[in-house]
């Protein structure tokens, strides 16, 4: 039977309205303080789109078959990528309130910033960002279209998906690194980390597993997706493994800086581990690693749809807070751990992701099938 379009719940639409209202008022009343919320919302949308595209590409490159009845959720997330271009344009408008290199006077006074002023000029950075989003949108579109055809029963499409999926994964590393360096790490004036992009890429993988689990389980609960306990178990394993990977890389980056104890490296972590941001850092580690590890360590935990759904929700919250911690302490106009604009803009971005994924998601109304192992 033909796939049926998903009905968008009222909640995500209300969150989008809240986010748009906060964006409009914030840019008029306090653009310097609303700027970091704009960057957070944009990054959430781009990360969500990459999460869906990466999950789809990994699935086909690995030759997997177990998740055929779950993959439409990943397709839906990948459809969000084009909206990242609009977000980057909005970030460019408020860039002087975020990035030291975008402030002409500050850049000229700092030899480190002025030395790379040609590379880190706003038109060039925006052009690179838009080019990266356009490239991801194009290649992810190819992968998703062929993947969707494969799910509809076209055996040749399944084979044809492998090549563009492999190219996407090969090129994801350098392109994602460039994006992360340009739009996140450049918030810092002097600090840098060679592990930074890989750390955030592990966050994308964690978000991919959590988003896939939430969308698939929501469709199953609504009677629009047919899969059983084995697929729930696989979703639980994905959420567990990607959360563990994120926690491992978080510890690696922190431990190396702590052990070396070099002043030019410790400032980034001191700003997040001492003072007003410390509770948020502890919360991120608990939500992003400790709780998923404890809740999904057992086989029974991974096979419980309710527990997997709860842990996936916790992981999504951890990803939001983790991105907030990457941005807020480093913004040129720092304003404490939270402002009036951070929360509604973050919720608006989350609502946009949910709304866009629901609108793009479709599930064939078929009876349950035997699990494919």
Residue 270 lies in a domain: yes
Residue 11 lies in a domain: yes
Q: Kindly state the tokens that stand for 37.
A: 């919320």
**Of 87, 9, 15, 8, nearest to 343 (Cα)?**
15
Residue 220 lies in a domain: yes
pLDDT at position 125: 95
**Of 221, 207, 199, 197, nearest to 317 (Cα)?**
207
Q: How far apart are CA 41 and CA 342, in angstroms?
A: 9
pLDDT at position 1: 42
For residues 75 and 56, the answer to whether their CB atoms sit within 8 Å is yes
Q: How far apart are CA 251 and CA 309, in angstroms?
A: 26
Residue 369 lies in a domain: no
Averaged pLDDT, groups of 10, the chain, 373 residues long: 54 82 80 83 92 93 82 86 91 89 82 85 95 96 92 85 95 95 90 90 94 86 76 93 96 89 84 85 95 95 94 94 88 64 82 75 46 38
Residue/partner pairs of 144-148 with CB below 8 Å, 24 or more apart? 144/52, 144/53, 144/56, 144/75, 144/78, 144/79, 147/56, 147/59, 147/60, 147/71, 147/75, 148/72, 148/75
For residues 207 and 292, the answer to whether their CB atoms sit within 8 Å is no
Residue 307 lies in a domain: yes
pLDDT at position 172: 96
Q: How far apart are CA 224 and CA 356, in angstroms?
A: 17
pLDDT at position 368: 42
**Of 90, 18, 80, 28, nearest to 50 (Cα)?**
80
Residue 372 lies in a domain: no
Which pTM does this prediction carry?
Answer: 0.87
Residue 7 lies in a domain: yes
Strand partners, 5: 362
Residue 373 lies in a domain: no
Domain range for residue 49?
A: 3-364
Total domain count for the chain? 1
Q: How far apart are CA 43 and CA 57, in angstroms?
A: 21
pLDDT at position 175: 97
For residues 362 and 4, the answer to whether their CB atoms sit within 8 Å is yes
């Amino acid at each position: 039977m033909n796939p049926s379009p998903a009905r968008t719940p009222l909640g995500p639409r209300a969150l989008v309205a809240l986010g748009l209202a906060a964006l409009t008022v914030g840019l008029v009343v306090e653009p310097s303080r609303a700027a970091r919320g704009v960057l957070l919302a944009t990054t959430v949308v781009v990360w969500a789109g990459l999460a869906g595209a990466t999950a789809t590409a990994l699935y086909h490159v690995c030759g997997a078959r177990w998740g055929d009845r779950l993959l439409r959720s990943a397709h839906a997330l990948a459809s969000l990528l084009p909206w990242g271009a609009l977000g980057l344009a909005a970030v460019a408008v408020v860039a002087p309130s975020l990035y030291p290199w975008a402030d002409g006077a500050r850049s000229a006074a700092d030899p480190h910033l002025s030395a790379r002023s040609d590379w880190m000029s706003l038109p060039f950075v925006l052009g690179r960002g838009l080019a990266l989003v356009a490239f991801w949108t194009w290649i992810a579109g190819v992968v998703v279209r062929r993947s969707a055809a494969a799910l509809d029963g076209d055996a040749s499409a399944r084979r044809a998906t492998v090549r563009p999926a492999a190219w996407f994964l090969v090129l994801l590393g350098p392109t994602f690194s460039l994006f992360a360096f340009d739009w996140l790490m450049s918030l810092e004036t002097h600090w840098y980390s060679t592990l930074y992009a890989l750390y955030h890429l592990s966050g994308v993988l964690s978000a991919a597993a959590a988003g896939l689990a939430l969308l698939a389980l929501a469709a199953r609960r609504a009677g629009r997706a047919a899969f059983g306990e084995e697929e729930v178990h696989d979703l639980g394993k994905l959420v567990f493994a990607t959360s563990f990977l994120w926690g491992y890389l978080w510890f690696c980056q922190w431990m190396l800086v702590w052990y070396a104890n070099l002043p030019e490296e410790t400032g980034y972590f001191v700003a997040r581990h001492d003072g007003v941001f410390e509770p948020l850092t502890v919360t991120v580690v608990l939500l992003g690693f400790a709780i998923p590890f404890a809740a999904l360590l057992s086989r029974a935990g991974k096979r419980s749809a309710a527990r997997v759904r709860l842990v996936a929700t916790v992981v999504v919250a951890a990803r939001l807070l983790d991105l907030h911690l990457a941005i807020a302490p480093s913004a040129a106009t720092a304003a404490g751990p939270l402002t009036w604009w951070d929360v509604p803009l973050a919720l608006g971005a989350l609502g946009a992701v949910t709304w866009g994924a629901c609108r793009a998601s479709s599930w064939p109304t078929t009876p349950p099938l035997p699990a494919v192992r």
